[in-house]
């Protein structure tokens, strides 16, 4: 059902998000396929984050609240994956722990293939 209480998002989708999303320390991982996660609060450069059993990344630069951080290396022209879907393309190599934002990603969502 769509409505003001869900902000226009269906309840089915909200249930899907609550099942698929996973909190990793100070991050939200929306889908297991994702190569980026979202910061729940600002994260300082140099912070060590455990992202899976024994796997850690060091934050390379300050990550503002609600911004994305790379969980693994993303090569130049590689896919940026969030919600289990490709949301953009890296315009340069992005290393684990780096901020993922408009300075290093070109968005692709909602830009259907042109003929």
In the chain, the domains with their CATH numbers are 23-107 (2.30.130.110)
Is the CB of residue 85 less than 8 Å from the CB of residue 50?
A: no
What is the number of H-type helices and E-type strands within the chain? 1, 10
Q: Are the beta carbons of 57 and 98 closer than 8 angstroms?
A: no
Highest mean pLDDT among 21-25, 70-74, 110-114: 70-74
Mean pLDDT of 13-41: 74
Q: Map 64-78 to HEC letters.
A: CCCCEEECCCECCCC
pLDDT in tens, 76-109: 999 999 999 999 999 999 999 999 999 999 998 7
What sign results for the dihedral spanned by CA atoms 45, 56, 89, 91? positive
Q: What are 43-82's pLDDT values in tens digits?
A: 999 999 988 777 899 999 999 999 999 999 999 999 999 9
């Amino acid at each position: 059902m769509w409505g003001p209480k869900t902000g226009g998002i269906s309840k089915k989708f909200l249930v899907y998000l609550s099942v698929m999303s996973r909190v990793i320390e100070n991050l939200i991982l929306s889908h297991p396929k994702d190569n980026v996660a979202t910061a729940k609060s600002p994260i300082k450069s140099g912070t060590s984050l455990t992202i899976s059993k024994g796997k850690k990344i060091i934050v390379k630069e300050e990550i503002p609240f609600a911004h994305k951080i790379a969980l693994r290396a993303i090569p130049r022209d590689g896919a940026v994956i969030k919600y289990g879907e490709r949301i953009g393309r890296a315009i340069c190599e992005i290393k684990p722990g780096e901020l993922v934002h408009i300075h290093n990603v070109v968005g692709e969502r909602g830009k259907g293939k042109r003929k």
